[in-house]
Amino acid sequence: MPASIQLKNQHLLWRAGFGPAVEQWNDLDKVSPSKLYEALEKASRKEPMPLKVATNFVEGLMNGVDGIRRTEMTQEQKQQLQKKSREEIRNLNLEWLDEMVNSNQQLREKLAFFFHGHFACRNLNALYQQDLVNIIRKNALGNFGTMLKEVSRSAAMLAFLNNQQNRKQKPNENFAREVMELFTMGRGNYTEKDIKEAARAFTGWQFKLNGEFIFRENLHDAGVKTVLGKTGNFDGNDVLDILLEQKQTATFISTKLYRFFVNTEVDEQKVKWLADRFYKSGYEIAALLKDIFTSDWFYDQKNIGTRVKSPVDLLVGIRRSMPMQIENEDAQLYLQKILGQVLFYPPNVAGWPGGLNWIDSSSLMFRMRVPQLIATKEAFNIRAKSDDDQEMGRMQQAGNKMGGRVLQTTIRWEPAMKQLEKVPRENLLTSIATLMWQTIPSPINKQLMEKFTDAASRERYIQTTIIQLMCTPEYQMC
């Protein structure tokens, strides 16, 4: 059975964004997927407003605490600075989450979310993290080569991958290795010799305290290097150009994007087609996305409703269907931690593995309770998996502020009531299920649903049906 226009459009909005906003429900069957993609792309063309929560912190970074140089700080002053930075990263997390929920630049924010995992980086410095996410958001629909170069010069990435310790006669290979393995070509497409030579080229790539990139010539190895068969007096920029010249880089990026946006089961033929065109375009991301999202095969039944929502997809999607005010926003950090995906804290330099890795028996049960917990302000007493590096003191602080781990929300139900006002009472369950689930067709156990919904009034029935349909295994998929 082929997918309906509504289902195709929902598929597009879940993959190229964070799901349909409640205000879009009535229009999902009124426009073709190609026209909808055109609208998504047009809305995301404008350069985004940078996230700016770490600005108060800049002065402290540059001047130390009360004008004292960082090297002269006491242990207490350093701890104070770290605490302030943790707070700023928490604010950055919540600010970006709100942007994902509310921005009409859904395509841009979804691509930025993908590249946030691709260029995975942990850094305790809020200013550096803010600069990196803004580089990614700005370039998300631009040129991959430009983004790669800007990310590679960012203080967050240079610090995370130890390039401050990379100097002539004592090269540190970490940065060069990850640029090849994770950011461009993928493992197995270069030699250890290539890494060693590339590391020499990146010597002297450093940053100032305020995060600004600086090339320290006195630390740079100016000798001749051979990288991937090319020989010359290369610097880091030359190496990045050599990596972009490799067709394998286009294949690696196209494969990752296919897995993220289309299906974790890769169709090699389709990826080859995408990679060829991506390479010929000079790595224009918007052109690659158009090839994906306007292809008939993107809407094949085997690609719809087959991807497990990441925790961020899940939380943002719920908020787009149930607009809400959240009094204790920090509670969202704890939810991210329990579900296994905290923005700005990837598990390692390879990012989040995704797919079925999001689900195990305990996490699935909790994921299915999340909409209910949000709607009923019910306390959730589940301990998040410990990760000392990820903990960094901030989650405990968030838990304390929550007062028993309750998400204090006020849901605005009016938009849903308005969107569903013309649906006859007997059709409400089916209509809401087609909006909530990405299945073809949508089998519903009506008797079971009626047990958990409140039919006292039309309004209560709609509210409880939306929540119950979100508390199902089907809602975990997109």
Query: What is the DSSP secondary-structure string of 179-229?
Result: IIIIIIS-TTSS-HHHHHHHHHHTTTEEE-TTS-EEE-GGGS--S-EEETT
Task: Inform me whether the pLDDT recorded for 395 exceeds 60.
Answer: no
- What does pLDDT average to over the chain? 91
User: Does pLDDT of 154 surpass 70?
Assistant: yes
Residues 6 or more apart whose CB falls under 8 angstroms from that of 194 comprise: 180, 227, 228
- Which positions ≥6 away from 125 have C-beta within 8 Å? 61, 85, 155, 156, 159, 211
Please tell me the predicted confidence (pLDDT) of residue 403: 41
Mean pLDDT, to the nearest integer, of 459-477?
96
Which residues are registered as beta bridge partners of 227? Answer: 230
**Percent of the chain having pLDDT more than 70?**
91
What are 337-379's pLDDT values in tens digits? Answer: 999 999 999 999 999 999 999 998 878 899 999 999 999 877 7
How does residue 23 score in pLDDT terms, banded at 50, 70 and 90?
A: very high
The per-residue pLDDT for 390 is 46
Structural tokens at position 344: 């700005």
The answer for residues whose C-beta is within 8 angstroms of residue 16's C-beta and 6 or more apart is 37, 40, 106, 107, 110, 261, 289, 293
3-state secondary structure of 248: helix
Residues 264-304 have pLDDT tens digits of 999 999 999 999 999 999 999 999 999 999 999 999 999 99
How much is the pLDDT for 393?
43
- How is 101-144 classified by DSSP, letter by letter? HH-S-HHHHHHHHHHHHHT----S-HHHHHHHHHHHHHHTTSBH
Rg (CA), the chain: 24
